Amino acid sequence: MLAVLVLLPITALSLATPATAATSQFRGMNWAVLGDNFSTGPLVLDGLSSSDSYATVQAKANAVYDDMAATLGVNTVRLPVNTHTVGTAWWNNYRGAIDAATARGFKVILAYWEDGAASGGRVTDYAAWNTMWSTVTSQYGSNGNVYFEPMNEPHGYSSAEWRDVAADWLDYHYSAVPSRVLIGGTGYSQDLRDVCNDSRFSGTLLSYHHYAFFYGTNTYEGWRNHVITRLGSCASRAVMTEFGAAMNSGLNYGDPNSSDNFVRHIRAVTDVMRENQMGGTYWPAIGGKPGTIGYDGYSMYIKGGSGTNLSLTVRNASGANRLRWAWGDNVDPNAGNAGSGATDIVNQSSGKCVDVVSASTANAAEVIQYTCGGAANQLWAMHDLGNGYYNLVAQHSGKCLDVNNASTADGAAVIQYTCGSGTNQQWQLRSVSGGYVEIVARHSGKCLDVPGSSTANSVRLTQYACNGGANQRWTL
């Protein structure tokens, strides 16, 4: 797999001792389908292909899990299942993602998403639903690392209806040990009180979701009270299986005085989790709803690499730090984004930053120099390829710094493009005097260059024969 250059402490995370009477042992991420897990077809997680074999799925999953563990100490992954996946030929291969996780000691939460056999937050084909779960529990019921969530966000049921459905599920699928079952709260799994107070679920865990977009805006204290109220008296059995916020816009989740609603919300959720020793699975690690930008703005990671050499880079260091805080780690809860895995790249001659024009997420968007402002289109993550070269990945788009058409000519344009295996996307960071580096394209041996040593905004960057000029020297 590809190593990932992040400036979070990835080699020796200071982890809290898991609580025995709480759920802090779940340090997790949702690995989702790009486009969301609500699907009337087979579930193909972001980074996988429907043509992947079991071995390929397992190899890709191991690359993803390696970086989750290295960057944040993740030990849990929540994966979707549906009736169009389980029991099919694809299921035999999809299981590679489950088996790769359990083989390394990860916990796996398998959760059912609406797929046509359920619609509008209700199961509509109980036979298909139960057949699916019978297959899953027969294959994984004896594996102590696998947990079962009968339904994600059962919002189509009244409280009483949902609790009856969930209780019937427990009776029917008796091979699923109650202590490894997560029963979702009412609504969009957003209120645990009725489920918590129902004695039929006294031996289960509870699945809790909390997003700002459910409720609008609030103060930090307002969010805290909101989260606590809907937990009821069952924080010790609750797992925050979905929570998330924008990670692609440079928000500082370490700012206790922020007026931003996302920041207030995430700080409140993670404080409540820490205080109650609650575990959780952030939504999403990768995958999710891409909208018009090609990826989910809530995603914790930028996915890089290709094939089985997938890599993950933290998208927002302060957001990632709040997860570690929630999980009980000994970190500064107010740490900002300085020192994140994404950095600006500043030219010695002009003092200006490498910038993707107009924050475009399109392939072939021009790369220019522009006055530094800390925006995500001026932040670049360095994926160490392990061979002396790096992919430089734009934080806002997840795309790679690229020499257009793999040209070897002087003056060839530098653009962003979907990351692949081409050497025109591989760069050597060659140290020169004064603490600067030359950024050298592997395929051509030429340097990232500001034409004419211009100091103007919007000058298009190119490659040019290395000559030691200040217009070819950069700080990271």
- pLDDT of 462 strictly over 50: yes
Q: Give a yes or no: residue 212 inside a domain.
A: yes
Q: Are residues 233 and 191 in the same domain?
A: yes
3-state secondary structure of 159: helix
* pLDDT grade for 326, boundaries at 50, 70 and 90: very high
- Residue 285 and residue 429: Cα distance in Å, rounded? 28
- Residue 192 and residue 201: Cα distance in Å, rounded? 11
pLDDT tens for 33-70 read: 999 999 999 999 999 999 999 999 999 999 999 999 99
Q: Give a yes or no: residue 84 inside a domain.
A: yes
Higher per-residue pLDDT: 396 or 10: 396
Q: Give a yes or no: residue 173 inside a domain.
A: yes
210-242: burial string, b at 16+ Cβ within 10 Å, e else: bbbeeeeebebeebbebbeebbbebbebbbbbb
For residues 299-310, average pLDDT:
87
Four-residue CA torsion sign, 90, 93, 96, 97: negative
Q: Are residues 108 and 229 in the same domain?
A: yes
Higher per-residue pLDDT: 26 or 318: 26
3-state secondary structure of 447: strand
Q: Are residues 200 and 299 in the same domain?
A: yes
Q: What domain count does the chain have? A: 2
Return the biggest CA–CA distance within the chain: 75
pLDDT tens for 136-195 read: 999 999 999 999 999 999 999 999 999 999 999 999 999 999 999 999 999 999 999 999
Region for residue 305 given its phi and psi (left: phi exceeds 0; alpha: psi -120 to 50; beta: otherwise): left
Q: Give a yes or no: residue 17 inside a domain.
A: no
Q: Are residues 409 and 301 in the same domain?
A: no
- Residue 391 and residue 423: Cα distance in Å, rounded? 9
* pLDDT grade for 338, boundaries at 50, 70 and 90: low
Q: Are residues 298 and 384 in the same domain?
A: no
For residue 321, CA distances in Å to 9, 254, 330 come to 10, 8, 10
pLDDT tens for 408-460 read: 999 999 999 988 889 999 999 888 887 788 999 999 999 999 999 999 999 99
CATH number at residue 387: 2.80.10.50
Q: Are residues 356 and 235 in the same domain?
A: no
Where among 300, 326, 352 does a domain terminate?
326
- pLDDT of 382 strictly over 60: yes
Which domain, by its residues, includes 462? 344-475
Averaged pLDDT score across all residues of the chain:
92
Q: Are residues 93 and 238 in the same domain?
A: yes
Q: Give a yes or no: residue 1 inside a domain.
A: no
- pLDDT of 341 strictly over 80: no
Letter for the amino acid at 461? L
Q: Are residues 380 and 315 in the same domain?
A: no
Where among 326, 358, 393 does a domain terminate?
326
End-to-end CA distance of the chain: 24
Q: Are residues 278 and 219 in the same domain?
A: yes
- Residue 92 and residue 83: Cα distance in Å, rounded? 14
Where among 298, 326, 354 does a domain terminate?
326
What tokens were used for 111? Answer: 């959760």
Q: Give a yes or no: residue 419 inside a domain.
A: yes
Q: Give a yes or no: residue 15 inside a domain.
A: no
Residue entry with tokens 């007026």: 259
- pLDDT of 117 strictly over 90: no
Q: Are residues 391 and 457 in the same domain?
A: yes
- What pLDDT does residue 251 have? 86
Distance of CA 341 to the CA centre of its chain: 14
Q: Are residues 132 and 226 in the same domain?
A: yes
pLDDT tens for 347-365 read: 999 999 999 999 999 999 9
- What pLDDT does residue 305 have? 78
Instruction: Using a pLDDT cut of 70, give the percent of the chain over it.
Output: 94
Q: Are residues 274 and 366 in the same domain?
A: no
Q: Give a yes or no: residue 331 inside a domain.
A: no
CATH number at residue 222: 3.20.20.80
For residue 41, CA distances in Å to 60, 105, 230 come to 21, 30, 33
